[in-house]
Amino acid sequence: MKALCLVLVSTALFAQQHATKDDWPLYGGTDFSWRYSALDQINTGNVKKLVPAWVFQTGDYEMGLQATPIVVDGIIYLSTSHNWVYAIEGTTGKPLWIYKYPNNPAGRSGYGAQNRGVAVAQGLVILGTLDNSVVALDQKTGREVWRVNVEDYRQCGCNISAAPLIAGDKVVVESTGDDSAHRGYLNAFDIKTGRLRWRFFVIPGPGEKGSETWAGESWKYGGGAPWMTGTYDPALNLIYWGTGNASSDLNGRGRQGDNLYTASVVAVDADSGKVKWHYQEIPHDSWDYDSAYEPMLIDLPVSGVQRKLIVHANKSGFAFVLDRTNGQLLRAFPYVKHITWSAGMTEDGKIINRNEPDVGKTKLICPGSGGGRSWNHATYSPRTGFYYSPAVEWCSEETAFEQEADEGKGFIGGMWRGKHPPGEDSFSHIDAYDPVKGIKKWTYKTKYALLASLLTTAGDLLFTGDPEGYFFALDARTGDKLWSFQTGSGLRGSPVTFRANGRQYVVTPSGWGSLAAGGVSGLFPQDARLFRGGSALFAFALPEDVK
- Of 295, 276, 277, 287, the residue nearest 226 (C-alpha): 295
CA dist list (Å): 179 to 116, 216, 265, 508, 538: 19, 20, 18, 30, 33
Options 22, 131, 179, 288, the catalytic residue? 288
- Long-range contacts of the stretch 199-204 (C-beta < 8 A, 24+): 199/273, 200/266, 200/268, 200/273, 200/274, 200/275, 202/226, 202/243, 202/244, 202/261, 202/262, 202/266, 203/259, 203/260, 203/261, 203/262, 204/260, 204/261
CB under 8 Å to 70, separation ≥6 — which residues?
A: 24, 25, 26, 27, 76, 77, 78, 117, 118, 119, 120, 496
**Is 190 one of the annotated active-site residues of the chain?**
no
> What span, in angstroms and rounded, lies between the C-alpha atoms of 141 and 282?
45
> What span, in angstroms and rounded, lies between the C-alpha atoms of 348 and 345?
8
> What span, in angstroms and rounded, lies between the C-alpha atoms of 424 and 509?
31
> What span, in angstroms and rounded, lies between the C-alpha atoms of 289 and 97?
39
Cα 74 to its chain centre, rounded Å, is 24
- Of 214, 216, 219, 319, the residue nearest 265 (C-alpha): 319
Provide the pairing of β-strand 503-510 with 386-393. unpaired
CB under 8 Å to 347, separation ≥6 — which residues?
A: none
> What span, in angstroms and rounded, lies between the C-alpha atoms of 432 and 505?
24
The alpha carbon dihedral of 141, 176, 273, 285 has a sign of: positive
Buried b (16+ CB within 10 A) or exposed e, 315-343: bbbbbbbbbbbebeebbbbbbbebbbbbe
Question: Cis (ω within 30 of 0) for the bond into 248?
Answer: yes
CA dist list (Å): 462 to 28, 148, 468, 540: 15, 39, 18, 14
Rounded to a whole number of angstroms, the CA Rg of the chain reads 22
Q: Are 86 and 100 in contact (CB under 8 A)?
A: no
- Of 318, 311, 253, the residue nearest 290 (C-alpha): 318
First to last CA, the chain: 39
Other Cβ atoms closer than 10 A to 530: 17
CA dihedral 224, 265, 450, 497 (to 10 degrees): -120
Instruction: Transcribe 254-267 into DSSP letters.
Output: GG-S--TTTTEEEE
Active-site residue set: 288
